[in-house]
Amino acid sequence: MISSENKEVCDGCGKRALLQDMQGNEFCDSCGQLARIIQTDPQLLRKICTLIRSDLHKADSGEQVCPAIAPLDLPEVLDAVRYRTRDRELNTWYVSVSELQGNPVEIFASTAFDRDHHLQSRISNLTTITRLVSLVLRHVFLGEVLSLEKTIKQLHRSSRQKNDLPDMLTRVLSRYVRNPEKIFNDLDENDLDL
């Protein structure tokens, strides 16, 4: 057994332990393992934090809990794969999946018949689904924080006409936000993607 006098203080956790040198720092075994993961595979750390925490930010202040795993920004240009598929009524649909480092981060669906009036409500619902799925994908793979406000914005952007499903969901969920007018003012002033 090693006596505590032979142990030094870990630069990471501050506990007394046998230490290992890493780039001029001295870490215990646990902190050393964590430092190697951060150094070699930061995406793994981001994924684990996403799995064990519902939010990487403190709820009250918006302050980030772990700056080392800040959400990735979505680049202006992404690689994408387009799939052609058919629904049960044999309508042709095109599904495009945007990828970042091989992971899906956005999904879009369209049809050559989007001017067809009987498909309008289905297209509106499809837009809603793809926008919300994209929001979840960015949370899973980029660490983007989910919020009710972001969800409402995506629903609002999906609506094609008054009283369609996304519009109804937007109105109902807006009742749970402290300042819903701000969401819609921000959309109207700053967002061209309506």
Phi and psi dihedrals of 92, rounded to 5? -85, 135
State the Rg of the chain over Cα.
23
What residue segments make up the domains of the chain, in order of their start?
4-69, 79-190
Which of 1-5, 30-34, 125-129, 156-160 bottoms out in mean pLDDT, i.e. has the lowest? 1-5
pLDDT of amino acid 3: 37
132: CB partners within 8 A, 6+ apart: 151, 154, 155
Does 1 have pLDDT greater than 50? no
The single-letter code of the amino acid at 115 is R
Confidence (pTM): 0.61
Does the pLDDT of residue 63 top 90, yes or no? Answer: no
Answer yes or no: is pLDDT of 192 > 70. Answer: no
Each residue's pLDDT tens digit, 9-29: 898 888 999 998 888 889 999
Side-chain half-sphere of 102: how many Cα atoms within 13 Å? 1
